[in-house]
Structure 1
Amino acid sequence: MKIGFIGSGIMGRPMAENLLRAGHQLYVYGRRFDRIEPMLVMGALGKGTPAEVAAESDITFTVVSDTTDVEQIILGDRGIVHGARPGHTVIDMSTVSPAATRRIAAALAERGIHMLDAPVSGGETGAREGTLSIMVGGEAPIFEKIRPLFETLGKSIVHVGGHGAGQVVKCCNQIVVGLTFEGVAEAILLARRNGVDPVKMREALLGGFAGSRILEVHGQRMLDSNYKPGFKVKLHHKDMAIVMDNAQETATPLPGAALIAQQMNALMGAGDSELDSSALMRALERLTADSR
């Protein structure tokens, strides 16, 4: 299958590499050659614009940082829309605004181009291992057509509704992830302040209802102060801004999400944008002068 792929960052590159390993021909575009070079070595073919990628492909994936980038890559002057033929499918796996996703899908539909919004959860490890959770919005028949490709990229693949629904579910995911980070960090801090070994505390909690993948993986990161990025603060900060914008659009009270948005603001202001988002622990430590 001829596939276009635009996005060569911490998530996009391993996803593209998994598609290449599965035997698909990929056409790729990147603003920096060094970011797409590993894919070219594996057999992908480079193109000069998103439009040129789409002209060679039946399906084009996009995995970029923010809403503005997605709009430019798909609808911009050199965007996918100018190269794609009717029947082409655009699959945006970025995390962006649900409202913008619906606008983009409508603009593509006017030209006979299909779209799925398919944001992911699972971080760099999930992208590399092909075990991502993929939440998909768009038309069900198009989803079923693309499902085999999703199965190359992820383990949990759920069609959640129409255009934009995937992005709404990703907002929900980021609320749960962020609040769980906060809970784990607060538990570690409280244990320390009471003279209780936080390592033993975590071990005890892992055996009960408080156990979670975040407590297991990111709880250990917090104990070790190891914030080498898997999912960067700056991206979680961006995602929480999307959550809060949607909350305002829909008049939805999200006090817990607002707290996480402010914690991410604090990390950004402290210069921690490139750290893993489990560095939320640092924001709490700074409040108590309890830095480790």
Structure 2
Amino acid sequence: MLTTNNTVIGFIGTGVMGKSMAGHLLKAGYKVVIYSRTKEKASELLESGAIWKDSVANLAKEANVIITIVGYPSDVEEVYLGENGVLNNAMKGTYIIDMTTSTPSLAKEIFRQAKERDINSLDAPVSGGDVGAKEARLTIMVGGEERAYNACLPVLECMGHNIVLQGDAGAGQHTKMCNQIAIASNMIGVSEAMAYATKAGLNPENVLKSISFGAAGSWSLSNLAPRMIVGDFEPGFYVKHFIKDMQIALDEAELMDMNTPGLELAKSLYEELANLGEENSGTQALFTLLSKKTF
């Protein structure tokens, strides 16, 4: 079992989500070594006791649990499978946990290569946004072997509450695609509802008091609609990363010969939003497009 006494956690990726997640591990008493492409993003963690490593390879040589939450599947591939990546430098018996939203096929390939090196691999993407990360109540969807899952559960519990082993390698990523498909259409509905309330001359805050607790209630309505109302489009989750996730889901759906019209519409709208220069805004910025757009 992994404890604070026998565990050194290597954390790669200290962005909007990762900074808070790594911070919770420090507060729990774990020794945490970190690497990020931009050291400045890790300054608060370093001040809190994290130890900086200047490369993925150097981090991997010291940690017996390695957690990553980076941007794109290409980043995941580089971090894990590159010449100077995790798998070529980690110790036997290390647990690796990729919490990036990536492709199921890549998760399976990392698991396969890790197994050959006697390294334990989990794919464990998350949901809950910046709020969930800050409050350590992320939903964590896990794929991999039950033995590795049970060993890493105390670590995962520092970052989230709703933690479920979904199946073998890749199952965590497939589950995250289900999550993103559900959110995609829901974000259209939430944005349209707030735009409608505004155009109808209603008080959007009062509207939310009614509809957030009825049949229309959702995480996005409760957490992102209030940001839309006050014009707060700072990223809890980037538009550009949501587009990436939707493309992964579309590709996987195509492989299964499945139609996803809601997902296709959402992706087209978010691409239009990104083309307007909003790729680094939060996903709630869809409100700005739909509040102006005439279909």
TM tier, smaller: over 0.9
Distance in 2, matches of 1:224 and 1:93, equals 31
Alignment of 1:19-34 (within 5 A): 19-34=25-40
Q: What is the deviation of 1:161?
A: 0.7
Render the CA deviation track for 1:125-181: whole Å, top value 9, x for unaligned: 211111111111100111000000111000111111110111111111111122211
Retained in 1: the 8 A contact 2:141–2:164? yes
1:76 pairs with one of 59, 76, 82: 82
Alignment of 1:51-200 (within 5 A): 51-200=57-206
SS of alignment partner, residue 288 of structure 1: coil
Supply the AA of the counterpart residue of 1:207. F
SS of alignment partner, residue 80 of structure 1: coil
2:245 pairs with one of 239, 247, 254: 239
SS of alignment partner, residue 94 of structure 1: coil
Q: What is the deviation of 1:260?
A: 1.1
Q: What is the deviation of 1:194?
A: 4.5
Retained in 1: the 8 A contact 2:123–2:144? yes
Distance in 2, matches of 1:122 and 1:203, equals 21
Q: What is the deviation of 1:196?
A: 4.7
Retained in 1: the 8 A contact 2:192–2:291? no
Distance in 2, matches of 1:86 and 1:190, equals 57
Q: What is the deviation of 1:192?
A: 4.2
SS of alignment partner, residue 61 of structure 1: strand
Q: Does 1:262 align with 2:265?
A: no
Render the CA deviation track for 1:57-111: whole Å, top value 9, x for unaligned: 1110011001001110111111011211221111000011111111121111111
TM-score between the two structures when normalised by the length of structure 2: 0.93
Q: What is the deviation of 1:190?
A: 3.4
Distance 1:145 1:196, change over 3 A: same
Task: Specify every segment of 5 or more residues in structure 2 that has no aligned partner in the other structure, as ranges.
Answer: 1-6
Q: Which residue of 2 aligns with 1:205?
A: 211
Task: Specify every segment of 5 or more residues in structure 1 that has no aligned partner in the other structure, as ranges.
Answer: none
Render the CA deviation track for 1:205-240: whole Å, top value 9, x for unaligned: 123211223212212222222212211111111111
Q: Which residue of 1 aligns with 2:19?
A: 13
Distance 1:207 1:19, change over 3 A: closer
Supply the AA of the counterpart residue of 1:244. L
Distance in 1, matches of 2:204 and 2:20, equals 34
Q: What is the deviation of 1:200?
A: 3.7
1:253 pairs with one of 251, 256, 259: 259
Alignment of 1:270-289 (within 5 A): 270-288=276-294
TM-score between the two structures when normalised by the length of structure 1: 0.94
Share of identical aligned residues, percent? 38
Q: Which residue of 1 aligns with 2:236?
A: 230
SS of alignment partner, residue 158 of structure 2: helix
Q: Which residue of 2 aligns with 1:39?
A: 45
Supply the AA of the counterpart residue of 2:119. I
Retained in 1: the 8 A contact 2:212–2:218? yes
Distance 1:43 1:194, change over 3 A: closer
SS of alignment partner, residue 108 of structure 1: helix
Distance in 1, matches of 2:201 and 2:62, equals 62
Distance in 1, matches of 2:71 and 2:152, equals 23
SS of alignment partner, residue 278 of structure 1: helix
Q: Which residue of 2 aligns with 1:3?
A: 9
Q: What is the deviation of 1:197?
A: 4.5
SS of alignment partner, residue 14 of structure 2: coil
Distance 1:37 1:190, change over 3 A: closer
Distance 1:216 1:111, change over 3 A: same
Q: RMSD in angstroms over aligned alpha carbons?
A: 1.6
Q: Provide the aligned length of Structure 1 versus Structure 2.
A: 289
